[in-house]
């Protein structure tokens, strides 16, 4: 909270600057999706104020102070973390407008006095706008800003503020149009290069950030990949038995749940892989938090199963299912997508046998999981049909060397081929 002096009464008031919050450990900027309160509304501490889209999710941000809201950043605006988006202060319209247009923490000076028609003194208007006739019009800073954004001619308005000053309410009352939102797609006709009609669609903020980070990962991480075949015959048999004995509505661990648990146990045994390369040094994490890649509506989200090495297979199954449901319903929150130390990406449900995933920087590695399918294999000296699955581990060579990655992958394989070891 900072002290401000009213331009009208000279009395002191307090205002607080609301800035773009950091809602996840990787957030650099955010987009204002929707204000949940309007200009001039009274806001209580802890009340939901605005919906903000980050690189991982959209969530509501709660006000940490109480007072009258003055919005300074409009819906659709993308701003860096720490940038001002609103101010909340005492219920003084002139104060709110002055605070919204000034630097928080700088006391507003007493206004200079100008002679009034009746010989009294009246407060001077701040930075008056210019009439086309060359005369001056008194208008508050925010009124001038809104007028400029919405195309309202200040010369045509009569001010309801002190001394005939035009304030925000006057501009809004003039029937201004809502702030424009750029179209999501543009279409250009033509048959250039035989492609037919071309439609260009703007990516969402999340899609744009995913594109940028994947490009950065490929460009900056010296990665290598290792692949191994896992015999999942025993695991699939065990899962079938669990499914047959499960009660109605009881969740049954999936193959991916088993991979998550096996990865977590292997990482606990090999802590070097449970780390990152950040700013020229190694980071090692005491918690084993597995990110699970989930396809959402036109995007990819990686919610986190925290402390997966200490959770039972049933707990991982229930938590993973709930997180995936939140991703698909659009209710996932940034805290649920932060703090991952290793990532598992599974495309087996689409019949993909193997693939290479892009490392989720700054993590040391990512595990790509293929389909479990029946294929001929040598088992106990005989060729027979076995349920096989391909795992591909992509490693950051700055953190893991070939032998390190091979040991981690071999341990995950061993745990999956002896699935009772995952039950604890």
Which residues are the active-site residues?
397
Residues 316 and 363: their CA atoms lie apart, in Å, by: 21
CA angle 251, 252, 255 (to 5 degrees): 135
Are residues 136 and 7 in contact, defined by beta-carbon separation less than 8 angstroms?
Answer: no
Strands 290-292 and 342-346: parallel
| Alpha-carbon gap, residue 9 to 7, rounded angstroms | 6
- Judge residue 335's burial from the number of C-beta atoms within 10 Å of its C-beta, 0-12 exposed, 13-18 middle, 19 or more buried: middle
What does the DSSP 8-state code read for residue 46?
A: T
Give me the half-sphere count of Cα atoms (radius 13 Å) on the Cβ side of residue 384: 8
Place of tokens 């294999």: 377
Tokens representing 373 are: 């399918």
Neighbours of 225 (CB within 10 A): 16
Cβ neighbours, 10 Å, residue 311: 19
Is 329 within 8 Å of 300 (Cβ atoms)?
A: no
Q: Locate all alpha helices (DSSP H) within 270-342, ordered by sequence.
A: 313-329
From residue 371, give the alpha-carbon distance in Å to each of 348, 392, 416. Answer: 4, 12, 14
99, 88, 136, 145: which is closest to 7 by C-alpha? 99
Report the alpha-carbon distance of residue 293 to residue 364 in Å, rounded: 16
Strand partners, 421: none
Separation between Cα atoms, residue 395 and residue 256, nearest integer Å: 20
């Amino acid at each position: 909270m900072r002290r401000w002096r009213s331009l009208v009464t000279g009395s002191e008031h307090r205002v607080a600057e609301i800035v773009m919050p950091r809602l996840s450990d990787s957030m650099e900027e955010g987009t204002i999706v929707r204000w949940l309160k309007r200009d001039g509304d009274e806001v209580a501490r802890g009340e939901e104020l605005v919906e903000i889209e980050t690189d991982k999710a959209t969530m509501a941000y709660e006000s940490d102070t109480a007072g009258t809201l003055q919005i300074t950043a409009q819906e659709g605006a993308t701003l860096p973390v720490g940038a001002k988006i609103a101010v909340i202060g005492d219920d003084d319209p002139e104060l709110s407008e002055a605070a919204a247009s000034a630097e928080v923490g700088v006391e507003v000076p007493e206004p200079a006095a100008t002679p009034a028609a009746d010989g009294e003194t009246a407060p001077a208007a701040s930075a008056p706008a210019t009439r086309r006739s060359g005369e001056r019009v008194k208008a508050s800073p925010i009124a001038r800003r809104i007028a400029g954004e919405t195309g309202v001619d200040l010369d045509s308005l009569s001010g309801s503020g002190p001394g005939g000053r035009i304030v925000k309410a006057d501009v809004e009352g003039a029937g201004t149009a809502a702030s424009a939102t750029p179209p999501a797609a543009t279409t250009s006709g033509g048959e250039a290069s035989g492609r037919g009609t071309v439609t260009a669609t703007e990516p969402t903020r999340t899609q744009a950030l995913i594109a940028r980070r994947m490009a950065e990962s490929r460009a900056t991480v010296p990665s290598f990949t290792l692949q191994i075949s896992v015999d999942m015959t025993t695991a699939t048999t065990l899962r079938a038995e669990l499914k047959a004995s499960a009660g109605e509505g009881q969740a049954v661990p999936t193959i991916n749940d088993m991979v998550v648990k096996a990865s977590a146990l292997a990482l606990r045994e090999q802590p070097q892989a449970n780390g990152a390369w950040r700013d020229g040094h190694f980071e090692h994490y005491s918690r084993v938090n597995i990110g699970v890649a989930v396809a959402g509506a036109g995007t990819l989200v990686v919610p986190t199963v925290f402390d997966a090495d200490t959770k039972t297979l049933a707990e991982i199954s229930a938590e993973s299912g709930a997180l995936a449901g939140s991703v698909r319903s659009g209710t996932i929150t940034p805290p649920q997508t932060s703090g991952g130390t290793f990532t598992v990406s599974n495309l087996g449900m689409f019949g993909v046998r193997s693939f290479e995933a892009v490392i989720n920087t700054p993590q040391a590695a990512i595990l790509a999981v293929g389909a479990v399918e029946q294929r001929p294999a040598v088992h106990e000296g005989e060729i027979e049909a076995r349920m096989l699955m391909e795992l591909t581990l992509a490693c950051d060579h700055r953190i893991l060397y070939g032998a390190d990655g091979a040991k981690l992958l071999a341990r995950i394989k061993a745990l999956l081929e002896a699935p009772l070891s995952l039950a604890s």
